[in-house]
Chain A
C-alpha cells in the first residue's frame, strides 16, 4: 500500500486508497476524488456548516463506508457528489471529480448527464423514494431512457431484465406493479435496479437498509455486493451501522460535525480505532452474543450544532478523554487529520497522545470483554476486514424473496 503524497493531512486523505490497475479514465486518479469539500447552507439563523474540509477518494469497484450520526454531514457530502443541492441555497467549495471531470459548479444540464449515468443513488426509504403514482417498471425505464435513446418497448425490456437481475420474482408481470404492491425489500431491490440500469461507475447508497426489516437488510447488502462484482461499480455506503461497514466496506470514513474524524482501511479502523468518537460508535453496537442484561453504552450528549460548532475539536464537549490531552488543546485547537499509530492506511483527527493504549486498556475490556482474551490482532480482523464476506450466515438462514 503506497501513500503517494507526503505527510497525511486533509488533502492527503484522498490518496489513501490503493492506486491499482482499476483506474477510471487516463488521469490516473481514482474514479471519485473529493478534495477539501465544504458545504454550507445560509439560513435565517446563520450559516449551517454542514461539511467542512472533507477529502476522500474511491477506486472503481471498491466500497467506502461513511459512518456517522444524523447531522454529521454524511448524506450532505454525498448529495453534493450527485449535484443534488439547490445551487441557490447552498455554498460549496473544494473539488469533486467524477471520472476526471470536475462536477462542482457544473451546469445543471451537464450535471444531469452525469447523474444516474455515472453516479447513481439509492435512498433510505424506498417507499417514499419511488413515485407512488407510477408503475415500478415505468420508473426504471424512465431512468434508462433519460440516458439512452431507445424505444419504450426496449426500455421496458431493460426494466424487466434489471428487475430479474435484482431478484424480483416474475419480473415480467411485476414490472407493471405499483410501488405499494411491492414489499419493503422488493422496493429497495427495485430502487437498486433503477440505480444500476444505466451501469453507473459509482453507486451511492444512503442508509439503504435502515428502513427495512432486519431479515431483509442482509439480503439487500448481499445483493449490492453481488451486483458490485458484476457491474464493477464503486459503492459509497452511508450508514450509522458499523455492522454494515464491517460487511461491505473496503475503506471507512467516520464523520463527526461535518468533518472526517477517522479514515482508513475498514479492518484497520475497526481493530485499531484511535478516535474516541469511533470508540463510542463501537461501544453502542449491540452484540447478540453478549450478556443479555448488559447495557448498551451510549455516547453521552447531543450532536454538535452545525450553526455554532464547538471550538477546537467538535467532539470535545462529549469526549470523556479530554483530560488526557495536555493543556486545553481539545477546546482550543482543531486537530489535523494525521496518520494513526498503525501505519499509512489510517488517518485520525485527535489530540490524544497514545490512543491505542487507551483503547486496548480502557475501552475494549468494557465493550467486548471476551475479545480481550483473544489475540485481538489475529482473530478479529480476518472476520470483519475483508469487506466481501461470501457466505454470510444470513444467506442460508433467511428466506429469500427471489
Chain B
C-alpha cells in the first residue's frame, strides 16, 4: 500500500478510536444511573412483601387467585424476550433471542404451541424475520423503562393467563451481575408460586406483632387480590431494569474492546507506513545510483 493510503487509514482508525472511547464513557455514566434505579426499586419491593405477609396473616390464607393456580395441562407457552431497541453491544441481544427461540423449539417438540412477547425493537424485528410475529410488542423505552411499561407487559401476560390463552409464562432477560458480567436468565412468571410470595428476604423479618389491632380497608383478602399480581409487575420491572444495566455494561465492555483493537491497528498500520516509507526511500536511492552508473 502506498504511504499516503496508509496515512489516511491511520487517521480514520484514530477517529474511530475517539468515537468508541466516547461511547465507552457514555455507557459508563448510563450504567451508574441504571444501577441506581435497581437500588431504588428495593425498598418498594420490600414494603410490598411486608404488606403481603401482614395481610396474609390477617386473612389466615392466600385466596386462590387464578394467577396462582396451575392450569390442568400446558398446551400454550408464552415466552417474553427482553431485548433492547439498539444493537452495538456485542452478543447482548442475540444471546437472549437464541435462548428464547431454543426454549420455544423445545416446547414445540413436546407438542406445545408457543407465543412470543417481545420488549425492544431488536427482539421484535428478529421474531418477525423468523416468521414468529410477537403477540405483544413493547418498544421505545429500553433506555429508561418506567414501571408503567412493566405493568403493560404484566397486564397482557396475566390477562392471557387468566383468560386461558396461555398456560405458562416464561421470561428471558440479561441479568445484571456486574459491569463485566451479565447472564441470560430464564424465569417462570406464571403460574406464580405461593412460596415466592411468602418468602422472607433478609432485612424484613422484624415482626411487628400487633396485627390484631390493624384496620383493613377493604378486608385483607381483597387487598391480597391486588397485592399478589404486583409480584408479577415487580418481577418484570426488575427484569427491564437489569436488562438496561446489562446493556450499558455490555456496551461499555464492547466499546473498550473496540478502542483497544483500534489502538493495536494503529500500531500495525504505523509499522506498515514506516516500512512503505523506507521502501520508497530505498527505491529512490537505487534509481539515483542506477542513473549515476549509466553515466559512467
Check if A and B associate. no
What residues make up the interface of B, taking CB atoms closer than 8 Å to A? Answer: none
